[in-house]
Chain A
Amino acid sequence: MIASVSQPSDYTNVAYPSGARIISLIKQAGVREIVAVPDIVTSNGLLWPISEDPDFRLTRICKEDEGVSICAAMSYNGTRAVLMMQQTGLMDSLNAIRAIGIDYARPVVMLVGLQGKEPDVHPDQSQVYGVRIVRPILDVMEISHSLIENPDDVDHIPDAISRAYENSQPHIFLIGRAPELT
């Protein structure tokens, strides 16, 4: 079945998370390594600023599952990293996440833009099939995840990253609204 948008979404009457605050909280969690495939949801508010931020080392990769392996390998000496991509790359990386993140119990932290999601609609109710299935798939795979849409949703980022590394397990932040630059 091919999904279609039946009703126009309200792109103006919603609040958007702050990219600057997300970056600050990622730093607060002790992360200095970013591994990324560009994603249009997080491009302006996160990836471009990160690419110019001397506190980070950005490793640009060709395909998302490379990043799962890179971040897992970094974790063996305690190096914390965040892997950025959009949900299409997440779907493409599920076997690597299954094998390396879950079977091997490695702390791979991912920040995933939900490309195509309507800003005022919860992802589970999205008209876009590729968005609507993401959370149920992660639930079936027993992968920890959390949703960032509203400005206040970002507050849990440091704790979620720390918990992933302390428990040696993956965590995926799903970004449902494009973060603002400031």
Chain B
Amino acid sequence: MTLYRDDALKALIPHIRDTDIVVAVYQSCFDWLALNPRDLNYVAVGAMGQASSHGLGLALANPDRRVIVLDGDGSLLMNLGSLVSIAEAGVTNFYHFLSANRVYEVNGSHPIPGGQVVDFESLARSAGYAGSHSFTQLKALTDGLADVLALPGPQMSVLELQAGQPYPRDYNYIHSAEARAIFEDALNKPCV
């Protein structure tokens, strides 16, 4: 049974705490913004491939929060070294979810290099992540999410999936000063 991205993201939503930072890129970001709009969604990634590095900076500077990165496989391939940097930094509050649909979805759905063979789970483990997992079925993901998020990071979860429902691609919003200001205000709001 195929795992669809929107179903995977819906499964993640109940596990997100109010204090969590969620960094999301490209179609995962557009889906996430439609499914779970919240002020601590970090969308200002700027350059393709940089989500994991933004997540590392946020994890280092905000050790009392969990940082959840919703990355893409094409994006991560542009910044594979970040796996090593993240592992080296030892950020225990870092949770990396990789939408592995094996194509550059927002750039015309061309195949990623090595799309048939690249083993992202192994790459993360070899880089030194504390744990690395793959999910191909919704039930296994639903059953496993709580356990993954209870483990000390950095944890990689590779979601072998396909695009689900089409959600609008609002590039203007993710690049907007408004989006950055909303996040910054929420991050610096005193905890009640």
| Residues of chain A at the chain B interface (Cβ within 8 Å) | 33, 57, 59-63, 65-74, 76-79, 81, 95-96, 99-100, 103-105
Q: How far, in angstroms, from A101 to B42 measured CA to CA in the complex?
A: 16
CB < 8 Å: which of A66, A73, A76, A81 contacts B82?
A: A66
Residues of B within 8 A of A67 (CB): 53
Q: Is the CB of A69 within 8 A of B53?
A: yes
In contact, B85 and A73 (Cβ under 8 angstroms)? no
Query: Would A69 and B57 count as touching, CB distance under 8 A?
Result: yes
Chain A residues with CB under 8 Å of B187's CB are 76-77
Of the candidates B45, B177, B188, the one whose C-beta lies within 8 Å of that of A77 is B188
Which residues 83-116 in B have Cβ within 8 Å of A in the complex?
Answer: 84-85, 88-89
Instruction: Chain B residues near A95: list those with CB within 8 A.
Output: 47
Residues of A with C-beta under 8 A to B44? 100, 104
Find B50's partner among A62, A77, A100, A105 (CB 8 Å cutoff). A100
Report whether A69 and B81 are in contact in the complex, using a CB–CB cutoff of 8 Å: no
Beyond A60-B85, A66-B50, A73-B58, 16 additional pairs, beta carbon < 8 A:
A59-B56, A59-B88, A61-B81, A61-B85, A62-B81, A62-B85, A63-B82, A69-B46, A69-B56, A74-B58, A74-B60, A76-B188, A77-B188, A81-B57, A100-B46, A104-B44
Chain A residues, CB < 8 A from B45: 69
Contact A66 B79 (CB under 8 A): yes
Interface status of B62 (Cβ within 8 A of chain A) = yes
Determine if B47 and A65 form an interchain contact, defined as CB atoms under 8 angstroms apart.
Answer: yes
Closest to A99 in B: B46
Closest A residue to B50 by CB, please name it: A69
* Cβ-defined contact, A104 with B79, below 8 A: no
For the complex formed, measure the closest distance between the CB of B181 and the CB atoms of chain A, giving whole angstroms. Answer: 10
Question: Which residues of chain B are near A69, meaning CB under 8 Å?
Answer: 45-47, 50, 53-54, 56-57
Are the CB atoms of B62 and A77 closer together than 8 Å?
Answer: yes
Q: Would you call B139 an interface residue if the criterion is a C-beta within 8 Å of the partner chain's C-beta atoms?
A: no
B182 to chain A minimum Cβ distance, whole angstroms, is 11
- Give Cα A103 to B183, complex, Å: 17
Chain A hits for B81, CB < 8 A: 61-63, 66
Q: Given A76-B183, A95-B47, A100-B50: A71 and B57 within 8 A (CB)?
A: yes
- A33-B60 contact given A62-B85, A65-B50, CB 8 Å threshold: yes
Q: How far is the CB of B170 from chain A (nearest CB, A)?
A: 16
B15 interface contact, C-beta 8 A: no
Q: Are A74 and B89 in contact (CB under 8 A)?
A: no
Give chain B residues whose Cβ lies under 8 Å from the Cβ of A74: 57-58, 60-61
> How many angstroms from the CA of A66 to the CA of B79 in the assembled complex?
8
In the complex the two chains form, what is the Cα distance from A141 to B44 in whole Å? 20
Contact check, A70 vs B53: say whether CB atoms are below 8 A apart: yes
Among the interface residues A62, A69, A77, A81, which one has the most CB atoms of the partner chain B within 10 A? A69
A-side contacts of B84, CB under 8 Å:
62
For residue A78, give the distance in angstroms from its CB to the closest CB of chain B: 8
Please give, as numbers and ranges, the residues of chain A lying within 8 Å of B177 by CB-CB distance.
Answer: 105
Q: Check B53–A66 contact: CB distance below 8 A.
A: yes
